[in-house]
C-alpha cells in the first residue's frame, strides 16, 4: 500500500506538462524552455522577486546547485523568473546574493511567464521552485531547504527518467506539447505503444473539431485555425476511449 501511494504521488507530480515560454535575461539572451529540453537539459525554474525575504534566504542555495551541476556547462539550466522586478533591480539582487545563473523580470517576459504558470499550477508562496525533465515531465512546488535536498533529488531523478508510462487502471501515457499550444501541437503516446489509435479534438461545448489516426503513437496537428481557449483531446482504440487530456491554445 505504501509503495503504491508513493508511485501514485510521483506520477501526479509529473503528469502535467509545463507551458512553453521564452525568458529574456538581463543581457537580452533568450531562454526557451522547450529548446533547452530538446538539447537534453534539465531546467530548474526559480519563481522569485527581489524583496521577498525567503527568496533572499534560499537564492544562495540555488546558486550552489547551479555551480555543483556545472555552472551552465553541464546539463542543468537554472532560470530565475521575477514577475515584478526590472533589470536594474535584478542586477542589484544578483550582486547581493551572488547569482550567476540567468534571471529575467518585467523587461524579459518574467511577469507574463509567471501569470501563465499561475493558470496551470498552484502558487502558495514565493519562492516557488519547479524541476522540468527532458521528457517535459515536471516536479512542481518543490520544497526549499538549506542544502536543497529535495530539489537535488528531483534533478537527479530527471537524469534517469526519460519517459514515465502510466500503467494504472489501463490508462495510456500521452504527452502533448507545447501546452499551451500555438500554431502546431504534437502528440506522443507511450513509446511501447504501437497500436493505431483515433485522436479527436473537442471544444468546451463538446463539439468535435478534428479527428485523425495516430500511427505508431505520434502525430502533429495544425491548430492555427482554432481560437484561443481550452480544448479536450480524446484518444480511443477499438475497445473505446482510453485517455482524455486538456489543452490550451493561445494565438
pLDDT digits (tens, 9 = 90+) for 186-243: 777 754 456 778 888 888 777 899 998 877 667 788 888 888 887 888 888 777 777 7
Most confident of 90-94, 135-139, 164-168, 197-201: 90-94
Q: Is the pLDDT of residue 66 over 80?
A: yes
Name the least confident of 18-32, 62-76, 190-204, 222-236.
Answer: 190-204
What percent of the chain clears pLDDT 70, i.e. is strictly above it? Answer: 83
Please indicate whether residue 26 or residue 39 has the higher confidence score (pLDDT): 26
pLDDT of residue 7: 30
What mean pLDDT value characterizes the chain? 82
pLDDT of residue 214: 78
Specify which residues 213 forms β-bridges with: 198
- Distances in Å between the Cα of 173 and the Cα atoms of 25, 136, 176, 186, 245 are 35, 13, 10, 14, 10
Please indicate whether residue 34 or residue 6 has the higher confidence score (pLDDT): 34
What percent of the chain clears pLDDT 90, i.e. is strictly above it? Answer: 43
pLDDT of residue 4: 29
Q: Is the pLDDT of residue 64 over 80?
A: yes
The tens digit of pLDDT for each residue in 123-142 reads 888 999 999 988 788 999 99
Domains contained in the chain, CATH given:
2-160 (3.40.30.10), 174-249 (2.60.40.3080)
Task: Tell me whether residue 172 is exposed, middle or buried, using C-beta atoms within 10 angstroms of its C-beta: 0 to 12, 13 to 18, 19 or more.
Answer: middle
Q: Which of 99, 121, 116 lies closest to 50 in space, CA to CA?
A: 99
pLDDT of residue 115: 95
pLDDT of residue 42: 93
Rama region for 61: left / alpha / beta (φ>0; ψ in -120 to 50; rest): alpha
pLDDT of residue 216: 65
Contact, 204 vs 232, CB < 8 A?
Answer: yes
Q: Could you write out the three-class secondary structure of 1-42?
A: CHHHHHHHHHHHHHCCCCCCCEEECCCCCEEEHHHHHHCCCE
Please indicate whether residue 177 or residue 67 has the higher confidence score (pLDDT): 67
Tell me the whole-structure pTM to 2 decimals.
0.62
Name the least confident of 36-40, 103-107, 176-180, 197-201.
Answer: 176-180
**CA dist., res. 7 & res. 86, Å (int):** 41
Q: Please count the helices (runs of H) and the strands (runs of E) in the chain.
A: 6, 14
Amino acid at each position: 500500500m505504501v509503495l503504491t501511494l508513493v508511485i501514485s504521488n510521483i506520477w501526479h507530480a509529473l503528469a502535467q506538462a509545463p507551458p512553453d515560454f521564452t525568458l529574456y535575461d538581463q543581457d537580452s539572451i533568450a531562454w526557451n524552455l522547450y529548446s533547452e529540453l530538446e538539447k537534453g537539459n534539465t531546467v530548474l525554474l526559480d519563481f522569485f522577486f527581489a524583496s521577498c525575504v525567503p527568496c533572499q534566504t534560499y537564492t544562495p542555495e540555488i546558486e550552489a546547485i547551479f555551480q555543483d551541476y556545472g555552472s551552465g556547462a553541464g546539463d542543468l539550466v537554472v532560470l530565475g523568473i521575477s514577475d515584478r522586478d526590472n533589470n536594474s533591480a535584478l542586477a542589484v539582487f544578483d550582486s547581493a546574493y551572488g547569482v550567476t545563473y540567468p534571471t529575467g523580470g518585467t523587461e524579459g517576459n518574467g511577469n507574463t511567464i509567471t501569470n501563465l504558470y499561475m493558470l496551470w499550477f498552484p502558487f502558495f508562496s514565493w519562492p516557488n521552485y519547479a524541476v522540468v525533465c527532458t521528457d517535459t515531465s515536471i516536479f512542481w512546488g518543490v520544497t526549499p531547504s538549506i542544502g536543497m535536498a529535495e530539489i537535488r533529488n528531483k534533478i537527479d531523478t530527471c537524469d534517469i527518467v526519460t519517459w514515465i508510462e502510466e500503467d494504472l487502471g489501463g490508462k495510456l501515457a500521452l504527452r502533448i506539447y507545447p501546452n499551451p499550444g500555438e500554431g502546431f501541437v504534437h502528440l506522443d503516446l507511450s513509446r511501447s505503444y504501437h497500436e493505431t489509435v483515433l485522436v479527436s479534438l473537442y471544444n468546451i461545448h463538446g463539439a468535435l473539431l478534428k479527428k485523425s489516426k495516430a500511427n505508431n503513437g505520434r502525430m502533429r496537428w495544425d491548430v492555427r485555425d482554432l481560437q484561443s481557449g481550452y480544448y479536450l483531446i480524446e484518444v480511443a482504440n477499438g475497445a473505446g476511449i482510453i485517455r482524455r487530456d486538456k489543452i490550451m491554445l493561445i494565438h
